[in-house]
Structure 1
């Protein structure tokens, strides 16, 4: 999961830099770069490309497209550190969905920690610097979709090769992003071509290791580790993009991170 976080942090930085391009075009290029890896590897290993759990794979792919698109759109409204912080309320939704569909237990103190984390969201919205309501809605929709992804991958378990899971997502993103880009296309220059194609490389590495992590351990334990990305993105936002984070914003981020990271300790603590 830590390798995944580093890769996704680099991808998010490039996306923020390319904010003149539509979210649909970025989704399209994000998928192309990854498909260059997944399709040849699947064919070489002679893995059944359609997989075994087609319904779950489709749901994972659809949730991925929604999460990715709404997050990229949110970056047009929010500072990158704020957007990433809010998106990773996703473990809250993942834990609740895991309780319903996977029967994974949630201790009473975990509910308190989830509430504490969501209080951080309200602090950011109420007192943060230039926090746009549209951006909040988009990023929370992305977070809910990401929560669905965590649970679906956990449900799939080790019955599917990680490459197949990623490939479903990327094929659906390729089709959706390509269609939606027709009327929103901007011709990239040489550097922009390189950056757009790099999205798929970073995304592939991030997706592969996140999938492996989620397949190997309980959702409630693994998912909160993604909060390391928040630290990276706030630092990059401040030093690279010159974004401003006031004390209220940082307090909100702290509440989100504390609640979810302490959840790891609670989950692992023996009853």
Structure 2
């Protein structure tokens, strides 16, 4: 019996041992099933990711096609334009089409030329007004009209007003310089001919370089001193002071070349300071219409107080009102076209082109006012314009040197880019070599 009981006990122990083993096997099966389910879920996630990537590729391709089609419709060609983007490209454009293409490419210079023409026409109107109305009343009236025009641009463009104490302070200073520069320019026209006055005012780049050296800490080269000397010689030839050239009996008794030269130089200094301040304001992100609007407000306030203090108010005639409106209109659009020229073309080419204003001023002086300059005035104007061109070239070289210095800090990995990757690809299929795909599209558009 003891042996039998021992056998039963042994069987019970074996069953007890077998049950945990069975449970372990069932747990292993559950773990294996869970692992298979996780793997299947991962496969579903991977398939979903692939589907998302394919959808993104489709969206990107459709967006690219839409952008290319918009480029063709709107004329905003990108850097990778091909014949696929153009409906009917011109393989062999005519000479007239090539001429139109060159005009389209250089439209920035056309804006600069138009700006010079508008500024010179404004100078002619100023010359007429300065002899009939008080210069401070003229400046006040023109400033009010400028406030209206620039204010409309601010309103419809939803441009934000200036923010911060520095911006408001700089606007006050630039407005005061403008309120000094414009009346003195008008006074110079009152005492000397329009061509000579504008030529002297064009010494402004000389003073701009000096103020930029003082305020903006820009370098001053030795050649700039040479330009100062040449420009000063040009001013002397135009002013023709009696202690150097003697008295001129044929001179108009209403003219006073020396006094007109002083006013023109003061105007040039004021405008040069205005240019330097405006450059600093533009660097701070201030909009050009904001500058025009608030400068005109300050100018109107200062000149109204001055005109009231001098008791120089007078009721303009109908012709004077037309001249004032014309003056304000020409000044506003001259500034707009100059800014457009600077946006579309290199600054050096714009600077050189705008010096034609002096030539236009002499043309108006001869054709409208029947006043013929002598050879001394002509030589002086040429010297001053030459200094403007020289300053433009030296400024361009300085900017080029600065850009080369900055490129030295570029990551050397960029240097590994091959030349073929940097050059915009062109498709050569039986077309004129000098006419690119973009040019052929522009020819069609114009």
Fold shared, TM-score > 0.5 on shorter chain:
yes
1:239 matched residue in structure 2: 367
Note the C-alpha offset of 1:106. 3.4
The structure 1 residue matched to 2:142, chosen from 30, 50, 60, is: 30
Aligned mates of 1:209, 1:150 — CA distance in 2: 17
The structure 1 residue matched to 2:211, chosen from 97, 102, 121, is: 97
More divergent stretch after superposition (19-28 vs 217-226): 217-226
- The answer to whether 1:253 aligns with 2:381 is yes
The structure 1 residue matched to 2:276, chosen from 151, 156, 167, is: 151
Q: Deviations over 1:195-246 (max 9, x none)?
A: 2122211111223444666799999886565422111111101111122311
Aligned mates of 2:163, 2:118 — CA distance in 1: 26
Alignment of 1:130-169 (within 5 A): 131-158=256-283, 159-169=285-295
TM-score (normalised: structure 2): 0.56
1:13 matched residue in structure 2: 124
Aligned mates of 1:48, 1:151 — CA distance in 2: 23
Report the 3-state secondary structure (helix = DSSP H, G, I; strand = E; otherwise coil) of the residue aligned with 2:373: coil
Aligned mates of 2:236, 2:346 — CA distance in 1: 28
RCO higher in 1 or 2 (8 Å CA, sep ≥ 6)? 1
Report the 3-state secondary structure (helix = DSSP H, G, I; strand = E; otherwise coil) of the residue aligned with 2:271: helix
2:221 matched residue in structure 1: 107
- The answer to whether 1:206 aligns with 2:316 is no
Cα 1:213–1:97 change in 2 (3 A) is farther
Q: Deviations over 1:89-112 (max 9, x none)?
A: 011000111122223233322321
Report the 3-state secondary structure (helix = DSSP H, G, I; strand = E; otherwise coil) of the residue aligned with 1:172: helix
Aligned mates of 1:175, 1:201 — CA distance in 2: 20
Note the C-alpha offset of 1:34. 1.4
Cα 1:61–1:207 change in 2 (3 A) is farther
1:70 matched residue in structure 2: 184
Report the 3-state secondary structure (helix = DSSP H, G, I; strand = E; otherwise coil) of the residue aligned with 2:220: coil
More divergent stretch after superposition (202-211 vs 170-179): 202-211
More divergent stretch after superposition (76-85 vs 223-232): 223-232
Cα 1:219–1:181 change in 2 (3 A) is farther
Aligned mates of 1:226, 1:51 — CA distance in 2: 33
More divergent stretch after superposition (243-252 vs 46-55): 46-55
Aligned mates of 2:290, 2:343 — CA distance in 1: 13
2:304 matched residue in structure 1: 178
CA contact (8 A) 1:124 1:131 kept: no
Structure label with greater radius of gyration: 2
More divergent stretch after superposition (178-187 vs 205-214): 205-214
Gaps of 5+ in 1: none
Aligned mates of 1:155, 1:217 — CA distance in 2: 21
More divergent stretch after superposition (211-220 vs 168-177): 211-220
Cα 1:224–1:110 change in 2 (3 A) is farther
CA contact (8 A) 1:11 1:203 kept: yes
CA contact (8 A) 2:147 2:296 kept: yes
CA contact (8 A) 2:177 2:273 kept: yes
Aligned mates of 2:237, 2:256 — CA distance in 1: 11
Aligned mates of 1:116, 1:24 — CA distance in 2: 33
More divergent stretch after superposition (54-63 vs 145-154): 54-63
Aligned mates of 2:347, 2:176 — CA distance in 1: 19
Cα 1:216–1:161 change in 2 (3 A) is farther
Aligned mates of 1:219, 1:105 — CA distance in 2: 18
Q: Kindly tell me the number of residue pairs found equivalent between the two proteins.
A: 271
